[in-house]
Structure 1
Amino acid sequence: MRIIRLSFFLIFLIGISPRLTAQQLVQIKDGEGIDLGLYLEYFIDESNSLKVEEATGQTYETSNAKILNLANLPFNVWIRFDLQSQTKDEIYLTVDNALLEEIEVYSITDGEIDKTFEGGALRPFHERSIQSENFLMKLPITEGMTSSIYLKVNSKFPLLLPMDIATPPALSKNYQEHNLFWGLYAGTLLFAFLYNLFVFFSVREKRYLYYILYILGSVIFYMGLQGYSFQYLWPNHPILNIRLGFLISLTNIIITIFSMSFLRITKKSKVMYYFGVGTIVAYTLIGIINFTPAYSLGLGLAQLLSLITCIYFITVAVISFFRGIQSAKYYLIGWTIFLVLVSVYILTINGVITGNFFTTHSIFIGHMSEVLLLSFALADQINILKKENETNQKRIILQLEENEKLQLKVTQELEEKVIQRTAEVVREKNEAEYQRKRSDELLLNILPAETAEELKNTGKAKAKHISEVTVIFADIQDFTKLSENLSPSDLVKEINECFSVFDKIMEKYNVEKIKTIGDSYMAAGGLPKPNKTHAKDVINAALEIQEYLLEYKKKKLLKGENPFEMRIGIHTGPVVAGIVGIKKFAYDIWGDTVNLASRMESSGEIGKVNISEATYNHVKDDFNCIYRGKIEAKNKGDIDMYFVEKK
């Protein structure tokens, strides 16, 4: 009896040991501040309905990063950590994500639950007990107490959650560092704004106005990500917090117009010009989405299109630089830096890169660099434009002189070319007639006669849905290994020998060869003209191929050579048949029937013909069919399969 009790006790300890060891106790002392990332545990409430009493009994996962990053989730997330106070100081919890739409904080001490904080980005700013751009709250814990802290958060924006606890001295230090960075950011952007505003009033150039508006819009957006715009610009209108996607769309429209003007992208550069116009239209549509319930999708699309736009800007800058626009070098450097750092930021908020101070602030660092470098580019362009005007005047004069000389030379050359061209036209006419006859022959060689005739008469061939065909796939076993022992010419010779025999067998049984793909051979019965014997025809062809390969194997082995061996798979069902492409026409078939036929081949065996249940139902009275059972096929689940033999 004691042994049984001891066994149950050991099992109990093993069962609870993960919960005992997974959660680390956070101990905070006088003057300390602690980053909570590695101490956190989280649970994703997919029901979005759990209360704190229910959340405490769930199984939590442990964070393995200094900054907890759950990317985009449509569910409530419960986060917890255990805290012991070893200080007489007050303890403050900071959650540095200003776009959390809902956040609730609970402290549980000796089984008693205390709701410490309730708020979110969709509530007026004045409701916050501590007026901070992020979520800052005082925890009701005194010296010697040990409490479990639970947070419930929800947002349609990425759940990047830098969290820390701190005593007032540490909190003050953290805010000094935090405010130092944002002071540097705001100061840099303010300098660039005022500088370009001064230049605009001096030269009255539209591109400076576009750039000033871009700086203004981007600053409001980026400060909005951190909560400053909410705190200082629209504290009583929290709904604007979820419209940041519209702001980034508007800002990107302005910078696109600026870039096209700055880099002189006109309709002459068709691809670059219309791509730019296309991005403006796309941003307009995304901006509209941000006023719908799918605003989080709008922000995500805006971020994705921002990356594409950055690449577009860099590409256009490179082209413009090599076209002689020297000021494009600053533009190129600025946007390259920005693209790299924006990519780091987006990968961070989507959980690909581990979050730290640099990665979570990389977009703002990149924005500062880009704004400064574009300001240099604008300043440099004024001087460059003056020099370009002088150079262009000289070039025009020289060009006029060269044109006069060229005109005389071209007139003489044109007369000679007329004579030559007349003779060429006669030769080309004869060649065209020969090529027409040759193309007719080639067309009949690669397309079914019915399809070839339709293509010649109408210039196109319509794709057709054929309700029932039988598709065959044959594949050489260990082709790579066999090919290593053959020279390229011998390898092609062997494949050609086998596939030529296959072609004759297919023709014998009225089966249409579709194509060869490397060492695979594909054909289909019942097309282009449907018939009722397609399944039987294809299986007869398949069995004859295996008979040929058996004789072929014997001959190869007598010579001491390695023969080709094949798996053959067959499936019956509907397909769409037609011509692919506008060059190198190829008659092909599509549909799940083709995929299943391929799975029949890959699930078969050497020397066997493996068929599906659909094919079996057509030929079960004509052949011996051996049921293999349900065989798992890649991406198709378990499928009934049969080996087929002659009666």
Structure 2
Amino acid sequence: MKLIKTILSLVLFFAAISFSMAQSLIKIGDNEGVTLGPQLEYYVDSTNSLAIEDVQSLSFERSNAKILNLENLSFDAWVRFDLERQTEEEIYLTLDNALLEELVVYIISDGVVTNHFEGSFLKPFKNRLIQSENFQFKLPIASGSRSSIYLKVHSKFPLLLPIEVSTYKVFSQNNQEHNLFWGLYAGTILFAFLYNLFVYFSIREKRYLYYLLYILGSVIFYMGLQGYSFQFLWPNHPILNIRLGFLICITNIIITVFTMNFLRITKKQKVIYYIGVGTIIAYGLISIMNFTPAYPVGLGLAQLLSLITCIYFIVVAVISYFRGIQSAKYYLIGWSIFLVLVVVYILTLNGVISGNFFTTHSIFIGHMSEVLLLSFALADQINILKKENEQNQKKIIAQLEENEKLQLKVNLELEEKVLQRTAEVVKQKNEAEYQRKRSDELLLNILPAETAEELKNTGKAKAKLISEVTVIFADIQDFTHLSESMSPSDLVKEINECFSAFDKIMGKYNVEKIKTIGDSYMAAGGLPVPNQTHARDVVKAGLEIQEYLASYKERKLANGESPFEMRIGIHTGPVVAGIVGIKKFAYDIWGDTVNLASRMESSGEIGRVNISEATYNYVKEDFKCTYRGKIEAKNKGMIDMYFVERL
């Protein structure tokens, strides 16, 4: 009997040693952080009924992956690890999965079980211990002691569990890097959205509206996958978190409609047209499932159909490119990159590819690339819109001519039959007036009133030669270097601030702004109505711009920021003025005077107003000018130039 007891004791002793050796102890010292993967153990509760007291005695499986991935799991999962605190710093646990329907955190220290946290994405955001889009906790473990951490998790979304334990310093640094990536993502999408919004308001083309709606819907969905939508958009309505499948469906309906419009898929292309229509209908049906208890199935179907839709877009882009739609190449590249990265993401969620920062963020990187490339594709189609606009203009002129003929007919009938057919003539006249009004309103939508009147009266709008005009050019120095050191939104903000100030100055001196060309600003005095003070007015405006930029520079330097600095050039001479454009016409000027004004700018110096001899002869009695001598101007030879001194 003693022998049997001795053998049993030895077996239990070695079993305990083996069990303790199987469990990896995680030690956290000063300024340390550990990404848990192989150190984790997990147990799948197929009954969905086990409590913490039950699972402590069960045998857990060891994770072999860098990031624990339990894929699509319909049961509760228990995850555990042992932790020893070897620092006086506070330690934190981060679980980088925002889509958990249930999360319970237990801490076992000296045999005492503490329920540290219970929560999920189905509870109000304010209930979280740390207000973060992910689940983050401060672990109340005494310095020098060991504790066992148990996590009970459940989700109908793929169960990818990146877990990290770190001291406060590393925790803060990781959060900054995490937020830096998402700041880059948000900035890229915001830039694409604002750019296309500006284009939409400029040309009122509906495909831009579809694309804007797609960007808006997709960014809410992708930010929803990371918990940002919950944190910032609907923190008090957690039920919306399980409606992400509905958002996928609506977003894909919009992008499918956009694709068919952008690539000009009509009923003539029967197969791909009806596949597109069928896809839209399928998304509509799946979206309804997301409001039923079967929403996990709807989510899975939405994800699967999204992958098929990507392939459909690529096939359609190839077909459209060979049909002669050149801008389809950007569409093809964008969706091909997106498809590859989506496949990487899906394979990661399903455990085929090991999880790391790139693979778990690949879908978001792909989305950024796809959004930017589709923006290029839309910009490429502006040339197509120009041709369509020219055709529309011809139709408008033809309609005007037809209306004039109809009006003449009505007037003749009124003179001949005023007594016999008064009622009929009045009816015809009213109809003619209605048609003319419609044509006038349509014409005024794309032309200025004076140009529209000229077009109606003569059938065309003529360019005009103005013999004396003073043209000013202003250009930002070293713009390429400055743009590389600034975010897109800050760059646009700075340019807008400066050019808005220039607009006010031009208005003050009765100088007509012509256009901006990238980082250049162009204006002219003496048009569209000629005057005798154009040279003096433009020089005053140029000096005031430099005064404004000097003040602006002091302000920026005081704030430790890099300011814009500009050269300004002015030349006087004849120009041809008229209208150009693609959707709404723009007033513009042409001629050698414009080229010489540009050479004055490029031959000038930062902070100075450089004028030609032609302009000098107009303003020499009003301003103090310094002769610079003959200076080589590109393609213009040696030209006399002067600096205008500030009074």
Q: So what's the TM-score if we normalise by structure 1?
A: 0.59
1:360 and 2:360 are equivalent in the alignment:
yes
Q: SS at 2:38's partner residue? A: helix
> 1:86-119 deviations in whole A, cap 9, x for unaligned?
0001111111111101101010011001111111
1:233 is aligned to 233
The separation in 1 between residues aligned to 2:23 and 2:207, in whole angstroms, is 57
CA positional deviation for 1:20: 2.4
Q: Which residue number corresponds to residue 46 of structure 2?
A: 46
| SS of residue in 2 equivalent to 1:299 | helix
> For residues 416-455 of structure 1, what are the structure 2 equivalents within 5 Å?
none
Please give the per-residue CA displacement for 1:322-372, whole angstroms capped at 9, x wherever unaligned. 111110000000000000001111111122211111110000000000000
Give the letter aligned to residue 161 of structure 2.
L
Whether 2:305 is the aligned partner of 1:331: answer no
1:301-340 alignment runs, 5 A limit: 301-340=301-340
In the alignment, the residues of structure 1 paired with residue 384 and residue 17 of structure 2 have an alpha-carbon distance, to the nearest angstrom, of 72
Partner of 2:249 in structure 1?
Answer: 249
List per-residue Cα deviations over 1:15-38 (Å, max 9, x = no partner): 445522221000000111110112
Q: Aligned residue for 2:480?
A: none
61 and 335 in structure 1: CA distance in 2 versus 1, 3 angstrom threshold: same
Counterpart amino acid of 2:126? Answer: H
Output the amino acid matched with 1:372. Answer: L
User: Is this contact kept in 2: 1:197–1:212, CA < 8 A?
Assistant: yes
Describe the SS at the equivalent of 1:264.
coil
Distance 2:17 2:240 in 1: 47
Shift of 1:2: 7.7
| Amino acid in structure 2 at the alignment position of 1:173 | Q
Contact 1:326/1:384, CA 8 A, preserved across alignment: no
Find out whether 1:370 has 2:370 as its counterpart: yes
Task: Please give the alpha-carbon distance, in whole angstroms, between the structure 2 residues aligned to 1:204 and 1:40.
Answer: 56
User: How far 1:149 sits from its partner (Å)?
Assistant: 0.3
Aligned residues: 393
Deviation of 1:142 (Å): 1.8
SS class of match (2:44): strand
Q: Which residue of 2 aligns with 1:565?
A: none
Name the structure 2 match of 1:349. 349
Number of the residue aligned with 1:91: 91
Looking at structure 2, the residues matched to 14 and 114 of structure 1 have their Cα atoms a distance apart, in angstroms, of 30
Is the partner of 1:126 in helix, strand or coil?
helix
- SS at structure 2 position matched to 1:34: strand
Using the TM superposition, give the Cα deviation of residue 128 of structure 1 relative to its aligned residue in structure 2, in angstroms: 1.1
1:376 and 1:89 mapped to 2: Cα distance?
Answer: 50
User: What do the CA deviations read for 1:282-301 (whole angstroms, capped 9, x no partner)?
Assistant: 10011000001111111111
The SS at the match of 1:280 is: helix
Partners in 2 of 1:161 and 1:305 — Cα distance? 25
Amino acid at match of 1:280: I
Q: Which residue of 2 aligns with 1:270?
A: 270
Structure 2 stretches of 5 or more lacking a match?
392-647
1:28 aligns with 2:28: yes
- The answer (yes or no) to whether the contact 1:87–1:142 under 8 Å persists in 2 is no
Specify the alignment match of 1:215 in structure 2: 215
The 5 Å alignment of 1:67-82 reads 67-82=67-82
Is 1:282 equivalent to 2:312 in the alignment?
A: no
Once the two structures are superposed, what CA deviation does each residue of 1:530-558 show, in whole Å capped at 9, x if it has no partner? Answer: xxxxxxxxxxxxxxxxxxxxxxxxxxxxx
In the other structure, the counterpart of 1:56 is 56
> 2 CA distance for matches of 1:235 and 1:9?
56
Q: Who is 2:411 aligned against?
A: none
* Counterpart AA for 1:208: Y
d(CA) in 2 for partners of 1:13, 1:252: 60
Distance 1:298 1:72 in 2: 14
**Cα 1:387–1:148 shift into 2, 3 Å:** same
Q: Give per-residue Cα distances to partners, 1:378-403, cap 9 Å, x unaligned.
A: 00111255479999xxxxxxxxxxxx
Letter in 1 for 2:290: N
Inter-partner Cα distance in structure 1 for 2:286 and 2:8 = 60
1:480-499 paired onto structure 2 within 5 Å: none
Preserved CA contact (<8 Å) 1:90 1:142: no
| Counterpart Cα distance in 2 of 1:347 and 1:154 | 20
Q: Residues of 2 paired with 1:108 and 1:7: CA distance?
A: 31
Secondary structure of 1:174's match? helix
Letter in 2 for 1:142: A
In the alignment, structure 1 segments of 5+ residues that lack a partner are 392-647
Amino acid at match of 2:216: L
In structure 2, the residue matched to 1:191 is: 191
Secondary structure of 2:231's aligned partner: helix
Cα displacement (A) at 1:8? 3.9
Distance 1:367 1:94 in 2: 25
Q: Percent same amino acid among aligned pairs?
A: 72
Residue of structure 1 in register with 2:156 after alignment: 156
Q: Distance in 1 between matches of 2:4 and 2:55?
A: 34
